[in-house]
Amino acid sequence: MSPVRGKPRPRWAWWGIKRKNWAPGPLAPDLTRERQPLEEFPLDSVTFVGVLVAFGGDPEVSFLQGTRADAEVKVGDYVGQDYGQIGDIDLDTGTMVINEVKLGVSGRWQQNEEILSLPGAAVD
């Protein structure tokens, strides 16, 4: 008796469903934008050292970067290696909220909130 032979299949055959209109998700960072200087440093190496308030009341913030000079940033600027964007600067509490976007273990982008404080500022 001879074995039944079917049509040979390639070893790499894909049995899944093809996704036509794949989108990265609403939290995915814009990978095409030009990166800002403070994005080359891990967020835990950045120190919040002071607040300068302009006449219009919009705060600008100075960071101390190890051996580098201070950098002035404002709400909307990016800092840290995980696509962190400055969401809020609270002059009353001396804190800054940074919204980071990290790729999770599930393969989806997840938002994480980090808070930097001025030295000596009381954080709840």
* Residues 6 or more apart whose Cβ sits within 8 Å of residue 90: 96, 97
Taking a C-beta distance cutoff of 8 angstroms, is the pair 47, 41 a contact? no
Give the domain ranges of the chain.
37-117
> Which pLDDT band holds residue 13 (cuts at 50, 70, 90)?
low
What does the DSSP 8-state code read for residue 25? -
Written as one letter, the residue type at 22 is W
Q: What is the pTM of this model?
A: 0.71
> Which pLDDT band holds residue 122 (cuts at 50, 70, 90)?
low
Q: Give the chain's mean pLDDT.
A: 79
CATH pick for 37-117 out of 2.30.110.10, 2.30.30.830, 3.90.110.10, 3.40.640.10: 2.30.30.830
Taking a C-beta distance cutoff of 8 angstroms, is the pair 102, 110 a contact? yes
List, for residues 50-103, the tens digit of each pLDDT value: 887 777 777 777 776 554 657 788 899 999 999 999 999 888 888 999 999 998
Kindly list the distances between the CA atom of residue 114 and the CA atoms of 8, 44, 55, in Å, as whole numbers in the listed order.
55, 10, 28
